[in-house]
């Protein structure tokens, strides 16, 4: 039973590794950090696969691990204090196929964190609302309300910028 679950988990991770990278990159905005996040998430998942009680929940369980790793990295980066030596060596990296200067994406990033998470998981990762509720540990109705409120805010913000 455990070996079968382990094999299913490995197959799921390998099959969806690009999705996990894209999700991590959308949060950390750095190629190396996104790769680190995915690697850490894979390691944690493989170490703790025995904690997974329902093999149907592999998807939401692993997305939750990836998000938690993203948040942990962002918290750690917020605590770091850059010196002049550190900041002069950093060169920006633009991921191909991922346009961070896109107006819509910029508007999403201005929203509160819960709404950002819900919109990114729903539309960029194509998760069901019930899966999102499980990942974020929220009531399904709360997820729906925040999603629709966020979409309304986006429509207004994009409409105003576009002159509509």
Output the domain CATH number for residue 137.
1.10.10.10
Residues 159 and 84 in one domain: no
Determine the structural domain holding residue 83 and report its residue range: 1-91
Q: CA-CA-CA-CA torsion for 138, 17, 45, 105, nearest 10 degrees?
A: -30
Residues 7 and 84 in one domain: yes
22 and 86 in a single domain? The answer is yes
Domain count, the chain: 2
What pLDDT does 161 receive? Answer: 59
Task: Give the pLDDT score at 102.
Answer: 65
Any idea what the CATH number is for the domain that residue 87 is in? 1.10.1740.10
Q: What is the mean pLDDT of each successive set of 10 residues along the chain, which is 164 residues long?
A: 84 94 92 95 92 86 93 86 51 50 78 92 91 93 95 85 54
Q: How far apart are CA 63 and CA 88, in angstroms?
A: 34
- pLDDT value at position 77? 85
Question: What pLDDT, on the 0 to 100 scale, is given for residue 22?
Answer: 93
């Amino acid at each position: 039973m455990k070996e079968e679950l382990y094999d299913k988990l490995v197959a799921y991770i390998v099959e969806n590794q690009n999705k996990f990278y894209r999700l991590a990159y959308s949060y950390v905005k750095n190629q190396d950090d996104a790769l680190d996040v995915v690697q850490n998430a894979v390691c944690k998942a493989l170490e703790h696969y025995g904690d997974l009680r329902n093999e149907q929940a592999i998807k939401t369980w692993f997305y939750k691990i990836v998000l938690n790793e993203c948040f942990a990295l962002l918290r750690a980066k917020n605590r770091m204090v850059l010196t002049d030596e550190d900041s002069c060596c950093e060169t920006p990296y633009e991921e191909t196929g991922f346009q961070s200067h896109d107006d819509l994406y910029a508007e999403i990033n201005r929203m509160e964190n819960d709404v950002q998470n819900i919109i990114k998981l729903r539309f960029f990762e194509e998760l069901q609302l019930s899966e999102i509720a499980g990942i974020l540990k929220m009531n399904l109705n709360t997820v729906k309300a925040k999603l629709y409120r966020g979409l309304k805010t986006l429509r207004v913000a994009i409409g105003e910028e576009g002159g509509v």
